[in-house]
Amino acid sequence: MPRKCRKCSRPAVINMRQHKLALCAEHYPEWIIAQTERFIKKYHMFTRSDRVLVAVSGGKDSLALWDVLLQLEYQVDALYLGLGIDGAYAYSAESRAMCEAFAAAHPGTTLHVLDIQDIYGESIPAMAARTRRGRGKPCSVCGLVKRHEMNRIAHDLGYNVLATGHNLDDEAAVLFQNTLNWQVGYLARQAPVLPEGNGFARKVKPFCRFYERETAAYAIVRGIEYIYDECPYSEGATTIYYKELLNKLEAEKPGAKLHFYLSFLKARQELFANWKEEKVDLHPCENCGQPTTAPGLCSFCRMLPAEVRPKVNLANPISLQFPVQPENSAEKA
Amino acid sequence: MVIFMSDKVIVTLRKEQWEAEPGKTARQIIEERGLNPENFLTMINGQLVDDSTRLKPGDHLKLVAVISGGGDAS
Ligand code: SF4
Ligand SMILES: [Zn+2]
Ligand SMILES: [Zn+2]
């Protein structure tokens, strides 16, 4: 006999061993939506008066997040950044099509599409090929561009919260990596919420307590089409390696991943209660106004030829208060 | 992809396809292949099911890999 839903005894679509909870196709999405609301409140992420921008990639996590926030009736729109990445399977074109299809089916929300090549004249792989930062793999350039542009767009369009679809497996893999290397600065900053500052939006991760298979199951049950293929550059990424390692542990000890992450969040409060960001001198980038440690231009503007650099929005400049979220805060990239 | 009627279970994972014996659970079939059930969701004949579900002859078991990675989750 297949396992039954705890609430109604119909066949379960998923069994979450770490919660000893199996749910059916009707009760599972209800549970995900209610849990997301609980995490949003618990970590003081945002309220219904905030304007939330979800960064969508066409993948399961970000589209599921957009869907859940719409179900919860938050003021939410989405941002898709066209990176111009084409492998064997037109990754960027397909992922954009997934986001557009979702937006078309949900008339109450807006998808902002921003194509990096259209604005800056170069795709991410081209930028990477031209610069030292991109040597070997475009992920570092890609991460820099995404961070800069997400901050810029949220600011210029008046969103005060930026939400990303990071799930628990993402967070646990980064945590594992940062712990293996004892990256104290990164550990101090790894949190479900990064407060706003300097005109930057608050950054939130409402799915940070869901396993990756749970966000995928939500997308499938809700009939959300997402891009199943990965970005071609993600192959061999260390994140995937750490996720697989953690899942080996999880298979033998259900709940091990969850425990690793949640006990870190608890320990973090004690460990870093008096922790101060290393005193770094930050100033506004001469060109775009985003805070930077480098004198003159920020690393994003420095990477671009002068004629295509984004100009600072003088009517509504990013105000500068310190300390801020430094450019290199821990991300998966 | 062409799937023939069979008294076996047809298992697919991305572009790979193989046969398994009916009567086993989806989880057992994953483990027999040397894979970790934590990395997959299971669909039988197009429906998402819990992996304790047993397969019948002629069933199509699709394994959905859930690990994504690389630089971002945005
Ligand atoms: S894998 Fe690398 S290049 Fe591809 S989207 Fe992620 S960060 Fe960008
Ligand atoms: Zn039910
Ligand atoms: Zn700049």
Selecting from B39, B48, B71 the residue whose C-beta is nearest the C-beta of A139 gives B71
**Is B64 within 8 Å of A22 when comparing Cβ atoms?**
no
Pairwise CA distance, residues A175 & A264, whole Å: 8
Ligand 1 and A138: CB distance under 6 A: yes
Token pair 């966000």 in the structure block, residue = A215
pTM of structure: 0.92
Query: In this predicted model, which residue has the larger pLDDT, A189 or A320?
Result: A189
Provide the pLDDT confidence category of residue A280 given band limits of 50, 70 and 90. Answer: low
DSSP character for A311?
A: P
Provide the pLDDT confidence category of residue A329 given band limits of 50, 70 and 90. Answer: very low
Query: In this predicted model, which residue has the larger pLDDT, A275 or A312?
Result: A275
What one-letter code names the amino acid at A138? P
Res A222 pLDDT > 60: yes
Token pair 């990424």 in the structure block, residue = A237
Specify which of A138-152, A247-261, A282-296, B4-18 reaches the highest per-range mean pLDDT: A247-261
**Is A146 within 8 Å of B48 when comparing Cβ atoms?**
no
Annotate A271-296 with b (16+ C-beta within 10 A) or e (fewer). Answer: eeeeeeeeeeebebbebbbbbbeeee
Q: Chain A within 8 Å of B71 (Cβ-Cβ)?
A: yes
Q: Tell me the CA end-to-end span of chain A in Å, nearest whole number.
A: 43
For the segment A106-126, the average pLDDT, to the nearest whole number, is 93
Selecting from B39, B53, B69 the residue whose C-beta is nearest the C-beta of A2 gives B53
Ligand 1 and A143: CB distance under 6 A: yes
Pairwise CA distance, residues B28 & B49, whole Å: 14
In the prediction, which pLDDT does A311 show?
64
Provide the pLDDT confidence category of residue A171 given band limits of 50, 70 and 90. Answer: very high
Res A168 pLDDT > 70: yes
Selecting from B49, B66, B73 the residue whose C-beta is nearest the C-beta of A165 gives B73
For the segment A38-52, the average pLDDT, to the nearest whole number, is 98
Chain B contact set for A154 (CB, 8 A): none
Beta-carbon contacts of residue A82 (< 8 Å; ≥ 6 apart): A92, A96, A113, A114, A115, A116, A117, A118
Q: In what order do the strands lie in the sheet with A51-56?
A: A111-115, A75-82, A51-56, A161-163, A202-204, A193-194
State the average pLDDT for chain A.
89
Ligand 1 and B69: CB distance under 6 A: no
What ipTM score was computed for the predicted complex, to two decimals?
A: 0.91
Radius of gyration of chain A (CA): 20
For the segment A58-68, the average pLDDT, to the nearest whole number, is 97
**Is B72 within 8 Å of A22 when comparing Cβ atoms?**
no
For the segment A132-136, the average pLDDT, to the nearest whole number, is 80
Pairwise CA distance, residues A87 & B70, whole Å: 14
pLDDT digits (tens, 9 = 90+) for A6-15: 999 999 999 9
In the prediction, which pLDDT does A332 show?
37
Provide the pLDDT confidence category of residue A86 given band limits of 50, 70 and 90. Answer: confident
Name the residue of chain A whose CA is nearest to B69's CA: A240
